[in-house]
Amino acid sequence: MSITMHELMRPVLDGLDVPTDLLVAGAWHRGSDGNRIDVRDPASGAVLASVADAGVRDAQAAVDAAAAAAAGWAATAPRARAELLQRAFTLMHERSEELALLISLENGKSLADARSEVTYAAEFFRWYGEESVRLRGQVGRSPSGANRLVVTHQPVGISVLITPWNFPAAMATRKIAPALAAGCTAILKPATETPLTALAVAALLQEAGLPPGVLNVVTTTRPGPVVETMLTDPRTRMLSFTGSTQIGRRLLRTAADQVIKCGMELGGNAPFVVLADADVDAAVEGAMVAKMRNGGQACTAANRFFVHHAVHDTFVEGLVAQMAAVRVGPGSDESTQCGPLINEDAVRKVDELVRDALDRGARAVLGGERPGDGCFYPPTVLVDVPPDARLLHEEIFGPVAPVVRFEREEEMLAMVNDTEYGLVSYLYTGDLGRGLRLAEGIESGMVGLNRGLVSDPAAPFGGTKQSGLGREGSTEGLLEFMETQYIATSW
Ligand code: NAP
Q: Per residue in 420-479, pLDDT tens?
A: 999 999 999 999 999 999 999 999 999 999 999 999 999 999 999 999 999 999 999 999
pLDDT single digits (tens) 365-421: 999 999 887 899 999 999 999 999 999 999 999 999 999 999 999 999 999 999 999
Residue 5 pLDDT > 80: no
Query: Which amino acid, 170?
Result: A
Q: In 3-state terms, what secondary structure has residue 75?
A: helix
Decide whether any atom of ligand 1 lies within 6 Å of the 250 Cβ: yes
| Confidence (pLDDT) at 2 | 41
Beta-carbon neighbour count of residue 224 at 10 Å? 12
User: What's the CA gap between 94 and 335, in Å, rounded?
Assistant: 23
C-alpha to C-alpha distance for 106 and 196, rounded to whole angstroms: 8
Instruction: Share the mean pLDDT of the chain.
Output: 97
- Tell me the C-alpha distance between 248 and 263, whole Å: 10
Give the Cα separation of 54 and 379 in Å (integer): 38
Q: Where are the alpha helices (DSSP H) in 95-169?
A: 96-107, 111-132
Helices and strands: H and E segment counts in the chain: 15, 22
Ligand 1 pocket check for 265: Cβ under 6 Å: yes
Question: Which protein residue's CA is at the shortest distance from atom 39 of ligand 1?
Answer: 265
The residue ranking higher by pLDDT, 156 or 15, is: 156
Question: Considering the chain, what percentage of its residues have pLDDT values greater than 70?
Answer: 99
Coil, helix or strand for 30? coil
Residues 197 and 99 sit within 8 Å (Cβ to Cβ): yes
421 in ligand 1 pocket by Cβ < 6 Å? no
Ligand 1 probe mutation, 37, 162, 297, 300, most atoms within 8 A of CB: 162
Q: Which one of the listed residues 265, 395, 472, 480 is annotated catalytic?
A: 265
Residue 11: its pLDDT value, please? 87
Ligand 1: nearest atom to the Cα of 467: 41
**In the chain, % of residues over pLDDT 90:** 96
Question: Is 177's C-beta closer than 6 angstroms to any atom of ligand 1?
Answer: no
Q: What is the CA radius of gyration of the chain?
A: 23
* Residue 273 to residue 448: CA distance in whole angstroms: 10
At 1, the pLDDT band (50, 70, 90 cuts) reads very low
Q: Are strands 27-29 and 22-24 parallel, antiparallel or unpaired?
A: antiparallel
| Helix, strand, coil share (%) of the chain residues, nearest 5 | 40, 20, 35
For residue 416, the model assigns a pLDDT of: 98
Return d(Cα 451, Cα 421) in angstroms, integer.
20
Least confident of 5-9, 120-124, 408-412: 5-9
Assess whether pLDDT exceeds 80 at residue 56.
Answer: yes
Active-site residue among 299, 338, 395, 480? 299
Residue 364 has pLDDT above 90, yes or no: yes
Q: Give distance in angstroms: CA of 242 to centre of ligand 1.
A: 6
The mean-pLDDT minimum among 12-16, 152-156, 169-173, 454-458 falls in 12-16
Question: CA torsion, points 120, 121, 126, 131, in degrees to nearest 10?
Answer: 100
Q: Is 464 in the pocket of ligand 1 (CB under 6 A)?
A: no
Give the neighbor-by-neighbor strand order of the sheet with 261-265.
27-29, 22-24, 215-217, 186-189, 158-162, 236-242, 261-265, 468-469
Q: Which pLDDT score is estimated for 4?
A: 54
- On the question of pLDDT at 27 being above 70, the answer is yes
- Nearest alpha carbon to residue 28 among 79, 69, 78, 65: 65
Sign of CA dihedral 273, 275, 280, 286: negative
Please state the atom number of ligand 1 nearest to the C-alpha of residue 243: 30
What is the distance between the alpha carbons of residues 103 and 123, in angstroms, rounded to a whole number?
17
CB of 422 sitting under 6 A from ligand 1? no
Check if 330 has its Cβ closer than 6 Å to any atom of ligand 1. no
Ligand 1 atom 43, closest CA: 299
Q: Measured between alpha carbons, how far is 229 from 58 in angstroms, rounded to an integer?
A: 10
Å from CA of 162 to ligand 1 middle: 8
Closest listed residue to residue 370, CA positions, set 346, 406, 335:
346
Note if 265 is an active site residue.
yes
Whose alpha carbon is nearest atom 41 of ligand 1? 265
Whether residue 3 is predicted with pLDDT greater than 50 in this model: the reply is no
